[in-house]
Amino acid sequence: MAGTGKAHLRDSPDVLLRIEDLVVEFPVGRTGLKVNAVSGISLDVLKGETLGLVGESGCGKSTTGRAIMQLPRPTSGSVQFEGKELTAMQGDAMREARTRMQMIFQDPISSLNPRRKVRQIVMEPLNIWKRGTDAERAKKVDGILEEVGIDPVRAGESQPHQFSGGQCQRISIARSLVLDPSLIICDEPVSALDVSVQAQVLNLLEDLKAEYGLTLIFIAHDLAVVKNISDRVAVMYLGKICEVAPSDMLYEQPAHHYTSVLLNSIPVPDPEVAVTKTAIEGEPPSPVLPPPGCRFNPRCPAAQDICRSEEPQLRAVGEGHFVACHFPTITPVELTSR
């Protein structure tokens, strides 16, 4: 079977989300060809955990996030959330499940309705779901606005464009919290923000996570940002998973050649270190005709013949650390039990 394996899935009563063999394909016009956006990935997230998802543009991070939400439904594979299979779920059950999962996006300003007052935008989900009395709704919204650092009075008078990008991201976060979700999928929430606002928003997410007992999936292309907020990180390349590891371990001992490339691309704010770095050449190939074998082989400095014909499976290289590579930089270990 040509999946990337499931050795990394955990057998724990605390699993909040488990996706198995997730495939998402999009047709290319009427050519009969398809975009292989996500090609058989498996992942799990425990309650209270933050899973980071990193990789270059187009590798399928957002598609994975949306497939978890069933927007649109994946081509095949399973998504189990709070013990229930979502891919077959319909109607009210599906609508209800979607309140338990929320998504926030990269472009905070355009993801908020420009014509409404900010306080109304944050309250809207409560109105739609008819949660509580008017007074209870108002109390909840104002409390959450305070929590994310937005003045409820100003929010009641102003539209999104009257706030900065960082403030709009705080507003999106507030809106995602009002229905008491258990999972929040953050799709590049800080990529459009400058470094100082990025730090504010990352700290805010950490605080809210502790306060509301949230589980997060955090999507980004900058491994330094992902490392900071995540407990565990999955590295994606062209619709596949390359490596999964606890975040500190991924940085200390990257096992996949692509992970090393990503780490090496992060600009280091130190002129003595920065000048010795060289960038990897080229860009990922088209997901319409992905390379056979290991999808990273055309750009991999360590590729050999087998990489062009056989797809590597995820194998353990350490405690909670898994890599899909024929020639990883760490020797795989035998799994004693799982």
Partner 1 sequence: MSTQIQASARDIDGPLLELEDVTTHFKTPRGVVRAVDGVSFSLDRGKALGIVGESGSGKTILSRSIMGLLPPRGTIRGGSIKFEGREIGNLDRKAMRSVWGKEMAMIFQDPMTSLNPVMKIGRQIAEPLQIHLGMTKQNALATAERLLQDVRIPEAKRRLEQYPHEMSGGMRQRVMIAIALACGPTALFADEPTTALDVTVQAQILDLLGEQRRDRNMSLVLVTHDLGVVAGHTDEIAVMYGGKLVEKASTKGLFANMKMPYTEALLNSIPKLEDRSHTRLNAIAGRPPDLVNPPKGCRFAPRCPYAVDKCVNEEPPLIATAEDPNHLYACWYPVGSEGYHEAKVRIAASKHATDALAATSAAGGN
Ligand X SMILES: Nc1ncnc2c1ncn2[C@@H]1O[C@H](COP(=O)(O)OP(=O)(O)OP(=O)(O)O)[C@@H](O)[C@H]1O
Residues making contact with ligand SF4 (CB under 6 A): 256-257, 294, 296-297, 300, 302-303, 307, 312, 325-327
The CA distances from residue 333 to 5, 319, 323, 337, in Å, are 16, 9, 11, 12
Give least dist CB 311 to ligand SF4, A. 8
Nearest Cα residue to 225 out of 206, 245, 244: 206
Residue corresponding to tokens 């991070």: 61
**Binding string, 50-79, against Mg ion, x = CB under 5 A?**
------------x-----------------
Task: Name the closest residue to Mg ion (Cβ).
Answer: 62
The footprint of ligand X on residues 257-296 (CB under 6 A) is: 287
Find the part of the chain contacting partner 1 (CB under 8 A) among 63-71, 120-128, 221-229, 323-331.
221-229
In this structure, the dihedral spanned by the alpha carbons of residues 320, 324, 326 and 327, taken in order and rounded to 10 degrees, is -60
- Total site size for Mg ion, rule CB under 5 A: 1
Residue 274 makes CB contacts below 8 A (sequence gap 6+) with 267, 268
**DSSP assignment of 220-274, as one string?**
ES-HHHHHHH-SEEEEEETTEEEEEEEHHHHHHS--SHHHHHHHHHSPPS-HHHH
In the list ligand X, ligand SF4, partner 1, none, the entry touching 302 (Cβ below 5 to 8 angstroms by class) is ligand SF4
- Pair of tokens at residue 329: 């930089």
In the list partner 1, Mg ion, ligand SF4, none, the entry touching 227 (Cβ below 5 to 8 angstroms by class) is partner 1
Closest to partner 1 by CB, 86 or 150: 150
In the list ligand SF4, ligand X, Mg ion, none, the entry touching 100 (Cβ below 5 to 8 angstroms by class) is none
Instruction: Please name the amino acid found at residue 176.
Output: S
Residue 101 makes CB contacts below 8 A (sequence gap 6+) with 68, 69, 81, 181, 182, 183, 184, 185
Task: State the Cα–Cα distance between residues 142 and 136, nearest whole angstrom.
Answer: 10
**270 contributes a contact to partner 1 by CB under 8 A:** yes
Give least dist CB 89 to ligand X, A. 22
**57 contributes a contact to ligand X by CB under 6 A:** yes
Q: Which residues bind ligand X (CB under 6 A)?
A: 26, 35, 37, 55, 57-63, 221, 287
Q: Which residues bind partner 1 (CB under 8 A)?
A: 56-58, 164-166, 194-200, 202-203, 206, 221-225, 227-231, 247-248, 251, 261-275, 277-283
